[in-house]
């Protein structure tokens, strides 16, 4: 995986500032901004898999970017359902304890233990979901169908072909998140544009991973 290329390819395109500006400004709009950034990840990844030298989206392609973003959001929501259900279960339990316990100290103690147990469960579960979501997104990029991203058997099979590649990509996704927040160090509004840049970078990394790991899928 060529990490240096992923961080530099954006500036090879003379019109690089256009998608960065558009996606950056869209971050000011709740939900829409996140969908646009996610759409950029998938759009760039698909372009890299297809072998485009300049995989950045053009202004007239942002309809497709949003379409990709909506599909990516659907995939992400589906993957994070177990976390949502687990939190709901613990919240219901906590409410039941508060209602059923007359002793405030006992209820407080039980709630503290409940929160600790929830955190212990959520940390490994979240990591597993993050990795599987990246692999599932790669499966979507390779096949072009949302269903392929939600087929756990196929996703696990893709992961098993080269687990190191996907785990490195997961670590790089954390690095991209750090890059996304770096704009806030000097100027808060700068984070809007570093978020757009980080999405493009991760899209390139995802595309590289799909090309390396899922070449049999691409030939089908």
Determine the Cα–Cα distance for residues 108 and 10; give it in Å rounded to an integer: 52
The model's pLDDT over 107-158, given as tens digits with 9 standing for 90+, comes to: 777 777 777 888 888 889 999 999 999 999 999 999 989 999 999 998 998 8
Specify whether the CB–CB gap between 105 and 140 falls below 8 A.
Answer: no
Domain extents in the chain: 3-219
Q: What's this model's pTM, rounded to 2 decimal places?
A: 0.88
Task: Read off the pLDDT of each residue in 194-214 and give the average, rounded to a whole number.
Answer: 92
d(CA 185, CA 201): 20
pLDDT in tens, 68-97: 999 999 999 999 999 999 888 888 877 777
């Amino acid at each position: 995986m060529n990490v240096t290329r992923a961080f530099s390819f954006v500036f090879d395109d003379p019109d690089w500032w256009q998608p960065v500006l558009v996606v950056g400004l869209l971050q000011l709009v709740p939900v829409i901004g996140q969908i646009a950034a996610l759409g950029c990840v998938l759009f760039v990844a698909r372009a890299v898999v297809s072998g485009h030298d300049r995989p950045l989206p053009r202004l007239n392609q942002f309809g497709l970017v949003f379409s990709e973003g909506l599909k990516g959001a659907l995939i992400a929501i589906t993957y994070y359902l177990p976390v949502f259900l687990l939190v709901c279960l613990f919240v219901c339990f906590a409410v039941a304890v508060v209602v059923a316990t007359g002793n405030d100290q006992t209820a407080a103690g039980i709630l503290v233990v409940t929160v600790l147990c929830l955190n212990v469960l959520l940390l490994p579960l979240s990591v597993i979901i993050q990795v599987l979501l990246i692999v599932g997104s790669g499966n979507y990029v390779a096949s072009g169908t949302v269903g392929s991203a939600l087929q756990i058997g196929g996703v696990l099979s893709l992961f098993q072909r080269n687990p190191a590649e996907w785990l490195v990509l997961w670590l790089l996704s954390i690095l991209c998140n750090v890059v996304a927040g770096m704009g806030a160090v000097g100027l808060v509004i700068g984070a809007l544009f570093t978020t757009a840049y980080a999405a493009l970078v991760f899209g390139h990394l995802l595309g590289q991973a799909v090309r390396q790991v899922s070449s049999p899928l691409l030939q089908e």
